[in-house]
């Protein structure tokens, strides 16, 4: 069997759960995965067979090009001379401190600080709603009501007649 293919039996909720690799391999009736799945289904006929789905955070923002090098270059090219020096010192200090932490904590902490300091990087390409006009009465022509129209026609006829 493929070392990355996995299947688990959950007795508490009567479920046989497999990952996508195992499910793909079990589609072929000549594989070990197919034979193993059929054996499990024979052993536990009342259990439901499901494919495990990994839950993804759809609200998470991804910044593919936001590397340490990009951040450093951006800091060096934006803001006043004093701000650049301060932000570069903070960035380099954070980068130095992060070296003693696990890889999973390094980048997110520095990325959060960078995006808070330079929010325009996070907002780049986002469409903002156009501002609504405050007063549109200037462009609107009020039309007379039918009664006013009839009265105006009668008045015109009286003057002409």
DSSP 3-51: TT--EEEETTTTEEEE-HHHHHHHTSTTSHHHHHHHHHHHH-TTSEEEE
Confidence of residue 57 (pLDDT cuts 50, 70, 90): confident
Q: Would you list the domain boundaries of the chain?
A: 7-51, 68-123
End-to-end Cα separation, the chain, in angstroms:
105
- CA distances in angstroms from 45 to 12, 32, 42, 54, 56, listed in the order given: 15, 19, 5, 26, 31
**pTM more than 0.75:** no
Rg of the Cα atoms in the chain? 34
Confidence of residue 112 (pLDDT cuts 50, 70, 90): confident
- Out of 52-66, 78-92, 143-157, which region has the weakest mean confidence (pLDDT)? 143-157
How much of the chain exceeds pLDDT 70, in percent?
Answer: 76
């Amino acid at each position: 069997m493929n070392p990355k293919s996995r299947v688990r039996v959950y007795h508490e909720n009567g479920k046989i759960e497999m990952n996508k690799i195992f499910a793909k391999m079990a589609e072929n009736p000549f594989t070990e995965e197919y034979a193993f799945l059929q054996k499990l289904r024979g052993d536990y006929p009342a259990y439901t067979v499901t494919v495990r789905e990994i839950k993804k955070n759809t609200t998470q923002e991804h910044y593919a090009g936001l590397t340490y090098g990009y951040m450093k270059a951006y800091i060096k090219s934006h803001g006043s001379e004093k701000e650049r020096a301060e932000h570069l010192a903070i960035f380099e200090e954070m980068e130095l401190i992060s070296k003693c932490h696990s890889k999973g904590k390094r980048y997110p902490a520095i990325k959060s600080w960078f995006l808070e300091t330079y929010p325009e990087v996070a907002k780049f390409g986002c469409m903002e709603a156009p501002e609504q006009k405050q007063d549109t009465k200037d462009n609107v022509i009020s039309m007379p009501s039918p009664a006013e129209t009839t009265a105006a026609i009668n008045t015109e006829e009286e003057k002409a007649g």
